[in-house]
């Protein structure tokens, strides 16, 4: 029963039957106050709303019956000595046996003569039809049920909490939903044909029919997607008020640049480059995401944009998340641009103070046309003479505040154009949701002549053959990645994982195994996320230089590592990774003329896991894999919760195409001065979400 004094800010520990232990368990679910509880949404429903007569029961169907207890007793089974609670119930049309395992207290809670609703799935044993461990609720005149004889919500749980407990707590607080202010203006609510927020919350926790669930869920999904689109619109509007240098497209130098490339550009590369050139001609700052699968040729498109800016007399800054990736760009882009007498420099945190001072001086005077570095480029000592273009690799979010920093450093009163690049395949509908403030160019074609990586799901009994093959590749001078899901098997969480799979590979154990037992005569190294950044870079430099033959690593090598000589990617515990992540691992090899291979190992006998890995084995298109993963695993598991807004997509999915489109349309052109509540809501949301 709802309690009148409950407010949104009331701690859940103040509710009936919530002691210290339950309060701590709720906290693990992120539930501290009543508002948190109301926003703890069901993940599924059981429809027990249709009350069936015992005489009409059918095996295999989930039902509710209303019956009186004739007898109930707790005992031990004679064979397995299991605690059983058994009841015989009747409703005037027949009798039914009900069984609970390991719950002897039920025989004291329910008494002979009680009229009870029982909800569960009808099964059959040698004695006939029965209900096993059904939900139960005493029939009370004039009182609605919470666990039976209705559509019953099932909630995300943690150890020590039951669905019944969550529903009981929800029944105490549901009236507090009336307090929640509907933050979306009435005009927009009506345009979108949405239900009021408080009504939607009641509908998803205590639905009377499926239609209420559908309508209530649609409102809450819209809220999640609308706030993402509002944030994108705020950035768009702020950028529209800014001015960027107009970098005029001049065809002749670009034609010569393309003609001197040792390969032909694909249609997708040409299209992406043209979209970028058009953006740079405008006074409004370019804000574009360049998506391209591993090896699709994003770097050369970025180099073309940089060359165009330099030809127009502007400086270019290229930022990478790690020093090793910055050095790789320095080698590739630097080689492309230096032939045109463009001075390309590198600025890294690891440089000496003297080297940094000299690099900063060259930037400030304009001697350096293109600088490539990490976020060291944002430090206070860095100043540009006339920065016209910023290219950021593998960091989709580049906030307004960072743009202001660069404007102050640019040597001009204008904001530079901005181009972001990612090798993570993100389906367009999803990218528009996550990065609604960015225009998107996608390079999906692969350059001609590129050898496809041969992928094999290796049976456990063929592991020795795989090792023999790897030895042959090393003998040829090639190098090998070995990916493991864990660093080591220490710690409570990892021990649970190891227990679930005795063959689970860990970096440190696999390093010991390979270096001492399988390949004692070759150089084996290891790499994981707990190693300091400087040491990581040193290890990768050794691997790049060919000093390490086999590198055992965690997903730390997922993005941005370019080792042309590596020809084998071996992935242990492959079922533990999403397809998009496996594709990123696979993309670490196949970066030169050598035929490359990806071997998947799994001890899982799950049909679903093996279907996923079989799809990966025969599919080389990263966008196809990402789409499949999004539909089957959800965005949080595919791209990680660190991506902007993902952790707050509790109900919405990328299958909600209609709601995504509606949210984007209604966010466009919103007047934040007319609706200051929307601006406040976005800022409140930003404070609770990790943004890159």
What is the per-residue pLDDT for 637?
A: 57
158 and 142 both lie in a single domain? no
Average pLDDT over residues 113-126: 94
Q: Which of 131, 149, 167 is the last residue of a domain?
A: 149
| Widest pairwise Cα distance in the chain | 95
Phi, psi for 17 (deg, rounded to 5):
65, 25
Q: What is the dihedral of CA 488, 490, 496, 501, to 10 degrees?
A: 40
369 and 434 both lie in a single domain? yes
Sorted by sequence, the CB contacts under 8 Å of residue 356 that are 6+ apart come out as: 347, 376, 381
Mean of pLDDT over the chain: 87
142 and 266 both lie in a single domain? no
430 and 552 both lie in a single domain? no
β-bridge pairing 83-90 and 95-101: antiparallel
CATH code assigned at 133: 2.40.50.140
Average pLDDT over residues 52-68: 95
**Could you tell me the two tokens for 651?**
């109900």
Integer Cα distance of 565 and 592 in angstroms: 7
22 and 76 both lie in a single domain? no
Let me know how many helices (H) and strands (E) the chain has, helices first.
Answer: 24, 21
CATH code assigned at 477: 3.40.50.300
Look at residue 622 and tell me whether its pLDDT is greater than 90: no
Owning domain of residue 163 = 1-49+153-180
Residue tagged 């069984």 (tokens): 99
pLDDT in tens, 436-447: 778 899 998 887
What is the per-residue pLDDT for 500?
A: 39
Q: Is residue 479 part of a domain?
A: yes
What is the per-residue pLDDT for 262?
A: 86
Q: Is residue 233 part of a domain?
A: no
Count of CB atoms situated within 10 Å of the CB of 455: 21
543 and 559 both lie in a single domain? yes
pLDDT-derived band at 1 (thresholds 50, 70, 90) equals very low
CB 133 within 8 A of CB 106: no
pLDDT-derived band at 534 (thresholds 50, 70, 90) equals confident
137 and 77 both lie in a single domain? yes
145 and 163 both lie in a single domain? no
Look at residue 653 and tell me whether its pLDDT is greater than 80: no
139 and 161 both lie in a single domain? no
What is the per-residue pLDDT for 488?
A: 67
Look at residue 558 and tell me whether its pLDDT is greater than 70: no
Q: Is residue 275 part of a domain?
A: yes
What is the per-residue pLDDT for 37?
A: 97
Look at residue 294 and tell me whether its pLDDT is greater than 80: no
Q: Is residue 201 part of a domain?
A: no
428 and 346 both lie in a single domain? yes
pLDDT in tens, 334-373: 888 888 888 999 998 888 899 999 999 999 999 999 999 9
Q: Is residue 448 part of a domain?
A: no
Q: What is the dihedral of CA 127, 131, 137, 142, to 10 degrees?
A: -90
Q: Which of 397, 419, 443 is the last residue of a domain?
A: 443
Q: Is residue 204 part of a domain?
A: no
- Taking Cα atoms as reference points, which of 387, 385, 421, 415 lies closest to residue 403? 415
Sorted by sequence, the CB contacts under 8 Å of residue 653 that are 6+ apart come out as: 630, 634, 635
What is the per-residue pLDDT for 456?
A: 95
Q: Is residue 515 part of a domain?
A: yes
Integer Cα distance of 157 and 609 in angstroms: 24
Q: Which of 408, 443, 478 is the last residue of a domain?
A: 443
> Which one is predicted more confidently, 413 or 268?
268
Q: Is residue 372 part of a domain?
A: yes
Number of domains in the chain: 4
512 and 583 both lie in a single domain? yes
What is the per-residue pLDDT for 446?
A: 80
pLDDT in tens, 153-192: 999 999 899 999 999 999 999 999 999 999 999 999 999 9
E strand or H helix at 674: none
Integer Cα distance of 195 and 600 in angstroms: 48
279 and 422 both lie in a single domain? yes
């Amino acid at each position: 029963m709802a309690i009148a004094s409950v407010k949104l800010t009331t701690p859940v520990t103040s509710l009936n039957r919530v002691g210290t232990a339950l309060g701590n368990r709720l906290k693990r679910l992120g539930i501290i106050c009543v508002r948190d509880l109301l926003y703890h949404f069901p993940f599924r429903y059981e429809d027990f709303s249709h009350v069936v007569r015992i005489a009409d029961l059918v095996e295999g169907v989930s039902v509710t019956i209303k019956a009186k207890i004739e007898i109930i007793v707790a005992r031990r089974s004679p064979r397995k000595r299991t605690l059983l609670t058994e009841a015989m119930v009747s409703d005037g049309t027949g009798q039914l046996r009900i069984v609970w395992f390991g719950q002897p207290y039920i025989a004291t809670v329910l008494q002979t003569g009680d009229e009870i609703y029982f909800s569960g799935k009808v099964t059959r044993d040698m004695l006939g039809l029965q209900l096993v461990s059904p939900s139960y609720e005493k029939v009370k005149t004039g009182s609605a049920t919470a666990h039976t004889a209705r559509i019953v919500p099932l909630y995300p749980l943690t150890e020590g909490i039951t669905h019944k407990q969550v529903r009981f707590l929800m029944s105490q607080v549901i009236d507090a939903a009336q307090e929640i202010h509907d933050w979306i203006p009435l005009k927009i609510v009506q345009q979108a044909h949405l239900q009021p927020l408080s009504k939607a919350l009641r509908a998803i926790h205590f639905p009377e029919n499926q239609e209420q669930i559908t309508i209530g869920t649609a409102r809450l999904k819209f809220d999640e997607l609308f706030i993402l689109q509002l944030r994108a619109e705020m950035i768009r509007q702020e950028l529209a008020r800014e001015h960027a240098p107009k970098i005029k497209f001049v065809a002749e130098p670009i034609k010569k640049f393309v003609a001197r490339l040792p390969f032909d550009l694909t249609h997708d590369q040409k299209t992406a480059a043209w979209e970028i050139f058009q953006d740079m001609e405008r006074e409004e700052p370019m804000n574009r995401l360049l998506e391209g699968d591993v090896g699709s040729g994003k770097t050369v498109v970025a180099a073309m944009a940089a060359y165009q800016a330099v030809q127009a007399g502007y400086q270019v800054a290229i930022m990478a998340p790690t020093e090793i990736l910055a050095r790789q760009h320095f080698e590739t882009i630097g080689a492309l641009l230096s032939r045109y007498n463009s001075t390309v420099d590198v600025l890294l945190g690891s440089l000496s103070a003297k080297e940094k001072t000299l690099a900063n001086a060259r930037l400030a005077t304009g001697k350096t046309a293109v600088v490539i570095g990490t976020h060291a480029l944002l430090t206070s000592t860095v100043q540009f003479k006339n920065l016209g273009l910023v290219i950021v690799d593998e960091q989709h979010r580049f906030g307004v505040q960072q743009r202001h920093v660069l404007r102050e450093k640019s040597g001009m009163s204008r904001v530079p154009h901005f181009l972001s690049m990612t090798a993570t395949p993100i389906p367009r509908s999803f990218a528009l949701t996550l990065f609604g403030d960015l225009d998107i160019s996608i390079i999906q074609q692969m350059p001609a002549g590129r050898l496809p990586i041969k992928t094999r799901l290796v049976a456990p009994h063929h592991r020795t053959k795989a090792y023999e093959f790897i030895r042959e590749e090393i003998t040829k001078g090639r190098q090998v990645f070995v990916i493991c899901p864990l660093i080591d098997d220490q710690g409570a969480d990892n021990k649970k994982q190891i227990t679930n799979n005795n063959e689970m590979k860990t970096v440190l154990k696999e390093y010991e195994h390979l270096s001492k037992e399988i390949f004692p005569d070759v150089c084996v190294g290891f790499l994981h996320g707990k190693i300091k950044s400087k040491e990581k870079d040193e290890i990768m430099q050794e691997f790049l230089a060919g000093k390490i033959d086999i590198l055992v690593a965690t997903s730390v090598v997922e993005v941005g590592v370019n080792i042309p000589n590596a020809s084998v990617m071996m992935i242990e515990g492959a079922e533990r990774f999403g397809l998009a992540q496996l594709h990123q691992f696979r993309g670490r090899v196949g970066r030169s003329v050598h035929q490359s291979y990806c071997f998947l190992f799994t001890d899982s006998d799950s049909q679903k896991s093996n279907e996923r890995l079989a799809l990966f084995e025969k599919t080389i298109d990263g966008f196809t894999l990402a789409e499949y993963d999004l539909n089957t695993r959800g965005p949080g598991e595919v791209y990680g919760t660190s991506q902007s807004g993902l952790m707050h997509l509790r109900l919405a999915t990328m299958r909600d195409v209609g709601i995504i489109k509606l949210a984007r349309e209604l966010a466009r052109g919103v007047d934040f001065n007319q609706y200051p509540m929307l601006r406040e809501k976005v800022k409140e949301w930003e404070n609770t979400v990790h943004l890159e």
